[in-house]
Amino acid sequence: MNWTLIKILLIVFAFLNLQNNDSFVNAKNGNSTKDEPTDHIITRLPAGFKILKKVIHGIRMKLLDTVVDLIHDIGNKTDLNKLEKCYSSEFGDRQLNLFQMPLHDVIYDYFTSGDHDHLFLSDSKFEIRQRLIIFVQNVKTLLHLIQKCLIAPYEEQMVMGITTLSHLSDHEYKQMLNKELYNKPLKLDNNNAQHKNITSSTSCIDPGPMVIPDEFDWNEKGKVTPIKQQFICGSCFIFSAVAVVESAYLIHGKTNLKPEEIDISEQAILDCMNPDVCRTGGWPTQAWMTMAHQGIVDEEDAPYMSMYTGGCKAYPKSKINYRIVNWCDDVYNTDDFIQRFILKHGPVFAAVDASGKEWKHNKGVFRAQCGKKLSHAIVITGWTKQYWIIKNSWGLNWGINGYLYLPRGQNKCGINSVIGVPFGMITP
């Protein structure tokens, strides 16, 4: 058993085992603790390792009490079929069911999933304890949103649950958003481009008349790379820019590579940005310009660190023989224009207002109220009769397998506000 897992188990045990040998939460749920996964593991922990239970006693009891009471209240009053319209317990290959599992089991399974190996690199028991408290607070918020959803009209109901973002504080979530998208207007030119083969960015040219199918998705055609995770950094614009380039290469690059074999480095681009890039964000056009100047870098040569590590660097030649030479972007687009552009060129960059608290918990079609103050860059890969199909950068255990489904025909969350796409050419 590795030390990180031991630390998690210790803190989970201390956080929830607050009354003698009986779990507080299990007692509330009416379950025995004798078969809990923590019991036999605790006996094997290193001798002499002590936990300061007093630090998490008292007011923390009130938080747990409130959460468990909310679970009981919703579970006892709600029909299962109705609950499924507002709640999903799926989390990868696990079920994190708040209404059927003791809360401590949900916490244990969440923090021991592969999604969170990076969380407990610190030896600070205080930081670990605070992370668990944030998670429980987010569960409390989720339960209140479920209550609100259950009494909302159908057109406002949406499926929510525990996601890869459920351990983040509100401040950390805001750090993931892109301030640059609404602080500065989109620049439709490239005055700083100095490479003779890089032309100025222009407005996207209308592809012209074409038959638009009711449903279409480049992902189903094997032209979209796997979902990635940006972590706590406002680098969504880089992930969006890279995803569009990866798809462009699969569609136009005459390659035999499969989507899972293509992985362009976001870190190599991030390090060519302003040192404050994780705090400020940026536009995909900046990322495409960097790729045009510096070339494409493979992920294995510059793994993602979710932070600025200091200046552009030289890397080995990428296995992707593709060079960005130009790009276009456009604002205030109709659904019809976006669809025709996707059909001709492939997935496109777009942006949404992701400032609402429902975003952190989304597990299905996003129907919550939202504004149009753009704060998050994403990629539209296709559509259904009713929804845009959108690739996100928040991991697989958010939305529907990492994808966002957004209602069409209403500029929901500002999705029609801006699109963009790069153009490239095969290199020797």
**Residue 183 catalytic?**
no
Provide the pLDDT confidence category of residue 197 given band limits of 50, 70 and 90.
very low
pLDDT at 333: 94
Query: 105-111: which pairs have CB atoms within 8 A and are 24 or more residues apart?
Result: 105/36, 105/37, 106/139, 106/162, 107/12, 107/15, 107/16, 107/132, 107/135, 107/136, 108/8, 108/9, 108/12, 108/37, 108/38, 110/135, 110/162, 110/166, 110/167, 111/8, 111/12, 111/135, 111/167
Distance CA(268)–CA(297), nearest Å, equals: 7
Distance CA(416)–CA(26), nearest Å, equals: 48
Q: Which one of the listed residues 26, 138, 392, 397 is annotated catalytic?
A: 392
Distance CA(212)–CA(383), nearest Å, equals: 11
Distance CA(308)–CA(276), nearest Å, equals: 8
The CA-atom distances, in angstroms, between 95 and each of 33, 161, 166, 361 are 20, 11, 15, 15
CATH of 175-426, one of 3.40.109.10, 3.60.21.10, 3.40.228.10, 3.90.70.10: 3.90.70.10
Angle, CA 268 vertex, CA 266 and CA 274 arms, to 5°:
95
Is 110 in contact with 116 (CB distance < 8 Å)? yes
- pLDDT-wise least confident of 47-56, 242-251, 271-280, 300-309: 47-56
pLDDT at 50: 33
Q: Measuring CA to CA, which residue among 84, 62, 64 is closest to residue 74?
A: 84
Residue 421 has pLDDT above 80, yes or no: yes
Provide the pLDDT confidence category of residue 201 given band limits of 50, 70 and 90.
low
Residue 18 has pLDDT above 50, yes or no: no
Residue 148 has pLDDT above 70, yes or no: yes
Q: Which one of the listed residues 204, 236, 278, 328 is annotated catalytic?
A: 236
**Residue 29 catalytic?**
no
Distance CA(346)–CA(259), nearest Å, equals: 14
CA-based torsion, 305, 227, 281, 271: positive or negative: positive
By three-state DSSP, how is residue 258 classified?
Answer: coil
By three-state DSSP, how is residue 296 classified?
Answer: coil
Tell me the mean pLDDT in the region 4-31: 45
381-392 pLDDT tens trace: 999 999 999 999
Structure tokens at 181: 């998208």
Tell me the mean pLDDT in the region 300-313: 95
Residue 24 has pLDDT above 80, yes or no: no
Structure tokens at 416: 């029609």
88-143 pLDDT tens trace: 999 999 999 999 998 888 888 888 887 776 665 555 667 777 888 899 999 999 99
Q: Where in the chain is the domain with CATH 3.90.70.10?
A: 175-426
DSSP annotation of 117: T
Structure tokens at 43: 């006996």
Arithmetic mean of pLDDT over the chain:
84
Residue 14 has pLDDT above 80, yes or no: no
275-289 pLDDT tens trace: 999 999 999 999 999
By three-state DSSP, how is residue 211 classified?
Answer: coil
Question: Which helix (H) or strand (E) segment is 378 a member of?
Answer: strand 376-383
Residues 6+ apart with CB under 8 A from 365: 158, 159, 387, 405, 406, 407
| 332 burial level (CB within 10 Å; 0-12, 13-18, 19+) | exposed
Q: Which one of the listed residues 104, 167, 345, 376 is annotated catalytic?
A: 376
By three-state DSSP, how is residue 118 classified?
Answer: coil
**Residue 401 catalytic?**
no
CA-based torsion, 230, 235, 241, 245: positive or negative: negative
Residues in the chain: 428
The CA-atom distances, in angstroms, between 177 and each of 64, 234, 247, 317, 390 are 30, 5, 23, 32, 17
Residue type, 31: N
Is 93 in contact with 165 (CB distance < 8 Å)? no
Tell me the mean pLDDT in the region 370-375: 96
Q: Of 389 and 185, which is predicted with more confidence? A: 389
